[in-house]
Chains A and B, each alone.
Chain A
Amino acid sequence: MSEFNSHKQQGIFHRYLLLLPVFALGVLSVVGSGGGPVIQLNTTMVGLSVGTLVKTSGIIDVTNNCNPATPPAPNIQAWWNGMPSTNRTFPFVGFELWRNSTDGCTTSRVDVYRALVTFNMASVSNLKGLVNKAELIVSTRALPAGVTAGNTSCVAFTGGAGTLERFGPAAAGNLPPVSGAGVLTQLQPADPFPVGNVVFTFPRPWASGNVPGAANPTTTLASGTGGATFTVDVTNQVTAALNGGFAGMSWMLTSAFEGPLTGPVASGGLDCKTSYAFQLRLTHL
């Protein structure tokens, strides 16, 4: 009797197993019956404006002779002005440490840089309801001299980048200025950096693959030029921005070290200002 039941159960199992190809064939034949050639999705890169924010803080030595400063303190504006205009369109993130080493002087300074980007969503408002995938691509454009082997604060592949943060649509009006040509904003000591929501923390040391703990799925690969590229799936945010009719979407890179200094920095300082490129790629009908 139990053998009969076992055979019966096997028969039922085989029938349902056979049903799978019938079901698959039926559904796929419907899908394949129409539509014509495979639909081609288009790719659009969203226009962007960028800005570099910088804020300075430090320690003043009042006991030693610090004049003249050796080496001279970094002149941020002169550095910015002397840069080729193309380079200004790739904002900087990271930090620069400076130490006045005249006659045992311990005066030190840290200039903290953040990279800000705003994408012009108004220019792609016609893609509302048509976006299949949206990816934010963040890649190193130029690594600083401070990236050296064994340096834990200015690491290989990513330089001085600490985190990627995103801003809600309401923040757009309160952010420092950005422009297509790139703009430098030197914040006063009392002015805070804008505060966003962390999307991911740059892995230190850098490793290719999925970025752990990211708020949006993020993968990273070596760029082939010594840097790294991070691809963040921002489909939901972009879809919401388009549906909500928002004019812009902003992200910011924070620095791996933002101070304050707790003691004099090592003689020679450290330049860890890293230039980054941003792209917002939409795949759509």
Chain B
Amino acid sequence: MNGHTPALQTRERIGPIILLATGMLGLGVLVYLFDRLPGSTYFLPAPWQHFADKPITFGNISGWLPEFAHVYAFSLFTAAVLGTTRRVALTSCSLWWLIDSLFEIGQYPNLSPHLVVATPAWFDGIPFLENTGAFFAHGTFDPADLIAITLGALAAWVTLSGLHNRKEGYNHVRIQQS
């Protein structure tokens, strides 16, 4: 016995993960707040984006930081729910890499009109879902975003692997001590 209850172990394990994920997600939201044109983002009211006429806050990274942040944050959130094993890390990072990549590819000009037309009519009036058509119709496909998504997934995997190794080492030391 290492003296920790399972609940405490879980809190110790997922606390840093949730903190990192929330921080990264917050960073992504800041890009939309400070560096995107008013009205360009569905989930933010246009008046909130009143810094858009100021110089770009995040510089060159503002173009791809949200994509990186999203896949990173949700890979970590998923791992926080399912556990921090290597298999979970790989699954959650791969899953969010796939989801975000598909949404990005859906903005490809030859593909997006078909997706807009295929968007179910019953999405209308349902918050967020009602923006599906606009997401594909007005979104811009950028290969750099796909790279950012891949880097985000890799970074999440490295983070989760690091936390996993740290925990393994911690448990190993405690077993030796006992």
- A→B interface (CB under 8 Å): 15, 18-19, 22-23, 25-39, 41, 129-133, 283, 285
Q: How far is the CA of A74 from the CA of B177 in the complex (A)?
A: 110
How many chain B residues sit at the interface, stated as a range, is: 35 or more
Q: Is B77 in contact with chain A by the CB < 8 A criterion? A: yes
Instruction: Name 19 interchain pairs, CB-CB below 8 A, sorted by A.
Output: A18-B81, A25-B74, A26-B78, A31-B129, A32-B42, A32-B43, A32-B128, A34-B41, A35-B137, A35-B138, A36-B39, A36-B41, A36-B134, A37-B42, A38-B133, A38-B134, A39-B137, A130-B117, A285-B116
Residues of A contacting B83 with CB < 8 Å?
A: 15
Binary CB contact string for chain B from 93 to 128 against chain A (1 if under 8 A, 0 otherwise): 000100110010001000001101101010000001
Q: How far is the CA of A133 from the CA of B119 in the complex (A)?
A: 10
Residues of A contacting B121 with CB < 8 Å?
A: 132-133, 283
Distance in Å from the Cβ of A208 to the closest Cβ of chain B? 21
- B→A interface (CB under 8 Å): 32, 39-43, 66, 70, 74, 77-78, 81-83, 96, 99-100, 103, 107, 113-114, 116-117, 119, 121, 128-139
Residues of B contacting A36 with CB < 8 Å?
A: 39-42, 134, 138
Q: How far is the CA of A28 from the CA of B128 in the complex (A)?
A: 6
Q: How many residue pairs, one in A and one in B, have C-beta atoms under 8 Å apart?
A: 104
- A-B contacts besides A26-B96, A39-B138, A132-B117, 14 pairs, CB < 8 Å: A22-B81, A25-B77, A28-B129, A30-B135, A32-B41, A32-B135, A33-B43, A33-B70, A34-B107, A35-B135, A38-B133, A39-B137, A129-B117, A130-B113
Do the beta carbons of B40 and A22 come within 8 Å of each other?
A: no
Known: A15-B82, A32-B128, A38-B130. Is A26-B77 also a contact (CB below 8 A)? yes
